[in-house]
Each structure stands twice: as structure tokens, then as C-alpha cells.
Amino acid sequence: MKATLRDGEGVEVSVVFPAYNEKDHLEDAVKKTMKVLDGITESYEIIIAEDGSTDGTDRIAARLSAEHAVVRHIHSDKRLGRGLALRRAFAKSNGRILIYMDVDLATGVGHLKTLIKSVRKDCDFATGSRMLRESKATRSRSRQIASKSYNFMVRTLLGSNVSDHQCGFKSWRRKALLELLDDVNATHWFWDTEMLVRASRRGYSIKEIPIEWTHKGRTKVNLVKDSLTMGSQVVRLWWELRKQSCTKNYLGI
């Protein structure tokens, strides 16, 4: 097992797992990710951003942190939402390359090498995409339609060129992410989309990579409720960006 230093010296990769009631997935995800990272980088950390869990996930995270020097557990007494949990974890991370992955490993960990290599070589942001022709995504027809409709809405209203904004498999150069972190106002599921949209508008390079993605068991996403919420967030961000653009034009910036 390769060890990493807790003070951030020499840490190349920080992987964050946002975890809310993930007792059935967490340990397996951490151990599989450690095994893959051992073959990719000489220095890494895995941060469990445990978000007010009530099913014992916090105890599993604490044990994993005690057992493995490369694992850190950041606990919240109450649920913050995925966006805030990620923001908090990244602010406390040490790596030069910052990654987040969904704990259910819907995206196979074998794609980590490509994700890391992309940021090492030629881009500021890299994200898995279920929409690329080379990708293989297994999910219900209703969720496929909802996802395609949502991404079309984002591209149309917010001017994004990204095909899949919500895949839970992303990496960033540290400098690029931290420069944008305070600008992102979303606190939950929309965090991914807002981060990518703002990155694109600021001129950061974004690379989408093909992946194999499989829906794993039950989901915390309520298709109707969350679709309405995400739609309102798209409109909110459109309005914020429009106001910013108008202000800049008025000031001649």
C-alpha cells in the first residue's frame, strides 16, 4: 500500500466520495479505488465526505480512516446536500488533481486512469459522459429520456458544449477548481452542472471521456421532483449569468 502525507506534501490525486447513507457501498468502493490508484499514482488520498448519514455510514467511514493512512473522513452532523459536501471536502483536500466519484461505482473504476491522465496532460476539467457514441450506459428508458432532455435544456439555455453534465465521475486541476468553487451557488444535485457551465464560460478546457456506466440498485433521485428542481436551477443560473453579462456590458468590462 502506497502511503500519502496528511499535510498535502507530494499528494498528486485526491478522490472524494460524497456519502449519504451508503453503508452497503462505501467499503467496497474505497477498497476497489485504492487498488486501482496504487497502479496509477505514487501519492493519493481518498476523502469520504460523509453527509449526515443515519444508517451507520459514519461508523464505517471512521473505521476505514483509522485502518488506512490514505483515507480521510469528513463528517457532517446534518445533511448538507451533495454540492455543499463536495465543496467542503475539496476545500480541505491536498491533491494537485481533484476527483469525485459516486460511491455506487456506477462508472467503473477502471476509467480512473483515463480521467487522471486527461488532467495530467491537456485539460483543466475531465468528466465521464454517458452520451458519447463510444460509451455504454445501462439505465431505464424513462431515465435516459429525462437525462437527454435535461442536457439539451442546459446546452440550449446556458450555452454549454458538454453532452453529459451530471455524471458522477469528474476530475479537475486543483487551481481551476478552487478558482471557481466560491462562484458555484448550487448546494445539491445541480452542483455538477453549474461547475461545468461556469468553467466553460471562464474559458477552462473541458474533456469528456467515454465510459461504461451501469445503474446500481436503488437511486436517491426522485425523477419527477428532482427534474422540477433541476429545471428551476437551470433557470436560476440562466438569470444569474444574464445579470452578470448585463452588468459587464454596462460597465464596459
Domain ranges of the chain: 13-244
- CA distance linking residue 22 with residue 35, whole number of Å: 20
pLDDT along the chain (253 residues), means of 10: 47 97 97 98 97 97 98 96 96 97 95 97 95 92 89 94 95 96 93 95 96 77 70 92 70 56
C-alpha cell at 199: 468553467
Placement of cell 440498485 in the chain: 217
Residue by residue, DSSP assigns 183-198 as T----STTHHHHHHHH
Asked about 124 being catalytic, the answer comes back as no
- CA distance linking residue 185 with residue 201, whole number of Å: 16
Fold of 13-244: Spore Coat Polysaccharide Biosynthesis Protein SpsA; Chain A (3.90.550)
- CA distance linking residue 172 with residue 108, whole number of Å: 18
DSSP 165: S
C-alpha cell at 8: 498535502
pLDDT in tens, 183-222: 999 999 999 999 999 999 999 999 999 999 998 755 555 5
Residues β-bridged to residue 45: 14
Question: Which entry of 51, 104, 124, 192 is annotated as an active-site residue?
Answer: 192
Burial call 181-220: b when 16+ CB within 10 Å, e when fewer: eeebebbbbbbbbbbbbbbbbeebebbbbbbbbeeeeeee
- CA distance linking residue 23 with residue 92, whole number of Å: 23
